[in-house]
Amino acid sequence: MAFSLYTFIYLFIVTVVFFGIRKGARPYVLLLAGYIYIGYLDKNSLISIILCTLVVYAAGLLIQEFTERGKDKFAQTTTFISIVILGVILLLTKYSSRFEILNNLILPIGFSYYAFQAIAYLADILMEKDKAEKNIGLFALYMSFFPKFVSGPIERSSAFMPQIKKLENVKFRDEYRLSLAFAYILYGYFMKVAVADNLGTFVPKLFDGYENYSSLWLIIGSLSYTMQIYCDFAGYSAIAVGIAKIYDIDLIENFTSPYLSVNISEFWRRWHRSLSFWLRDYVYIILGGNRKGIIRQCLNTMIVFILCGIWHGNGFNFLFWGLLHGIYSIIGILIKKYGTHKKHPIFGRVVTFCCASFAWIFFGASSFSAAVSYVKCMLTAGNTGNTFHTEILRMGLIPEKLWIVCIFVILVIAMDILSYRKDKTFPVLIQDFNCGTRYFLYYLAVILILVFGAYGPGFDAGQFMYMNF
């Protein structure tokens, strides 16, 4: 979902109707709200989600019927055909730009997410982990719930469906739930508007004009993009979680302090968790996981990350990004199995962060060749002869703004450290504070967003980086 001022006006209207209408109709209010919003964003996406919903709904019932009758081969065949169709459509739309005959195909907004969600739904029915939903209205809401539609998280029906079946029990006057929802929304907007968008004022200039800057600034650019993509995507996810909590729906926490991970395996348990868990459950484990020896484990790991890279984009730079994380993970597997001594956690965190940051260069560059050139310049450019202050001005920055961005990044790191130590996300953590402290933090967040957020031409707080993947 794209979050803008109009979004929250719309959200206010939906919330008033949700709590004002007959309780049994609440799921259908959210379904209609989702369809209206999706249609507003893109009519093709609305058609796509409706068609996908109908096909997957019918396939789920068919698989359930075959399973209950003991016709396992028919159930497996139906599941296989359905998943292949979803996979082929996803590949065609993602890679249409590479084939002239497919140039007119456009990836519907959110398709990457609800296609994976649909695949998980059908696979769970086949494996008897879940039952097919017979109420098409509730299933349609599962597929199109508007806070998570554009960029996830990828929800499992076993977690989501029971919640929407209890919407009639949700009470508006629940101070803790509303405070938590407000905290998530504010936290998400701070991450997005105050941090990610401010970093976005100069990071693209470094990635596009790397040959004009010193090695120091290119290193700063790499580290800044590392924080930008985190704050942007984690900000989106926090806002989505906050909006869902207004209706007492808990979405999966997509980010839990990933840059404090001591190894790359932990990183992927904390970064884009819904995708990581999906790849683990529906690719890695099905391929055999770690049950068939170390060589097979390494091969399965590499397949998972190649698929992860392909899912994110159609350039070789995305594939290489996936390969890098596959290599990192295999090295971690080998160290865990054959390592002779345990590394200090701080060392592990520094190495993991640096490896992730290096890989992000290939993710953020316009092409693989541009990423290679960026890395080459970063390692060899040295000093351009200009002062640090001169290069700041060349990027259109003022030193004071750069210091503000640095302070905001430090605040994000501090919040993540607290969250990591307490094993709670920051919005949940501050609910333990007394009312005075909590409301002061809310007030401070609003002021920082309004005063220091990146606004004006070229900036749209409703647009998120991961909407492109």
The residues annotated with a catalytic role in the active site are 312
DSSP string of 182-204, one letter each residue:
HHHHHHHHIIIIIIIHHHTTTHH
Q: What is the DSSP letter of 367?
A: S
Q: How far apart are CA 297 and CA 176, in angstroms?
A: 44
Q: How far apart are CA 111 and CA 93, in angstroms?
A: 9
Q: Are 323 and 306 in contact (CB under 8 A)?
A: yes
Q: How far apart are CA 380 and CA 14, in angstroms?
A: 55
Q: How far apart are CA 35 and CA 457, in angstroms?
A: 30
Q: How far apart are CA 113 and CA 274, in angstroms?
A: 10
* Cα 306–chain centre separation: 18
- Block residue for tokens 């990192």: 328
- 347-379 burial code (b ≥16 CB/10 A, e <16): ebbeebbebbbebbbbbbbeebebbeebbebbe
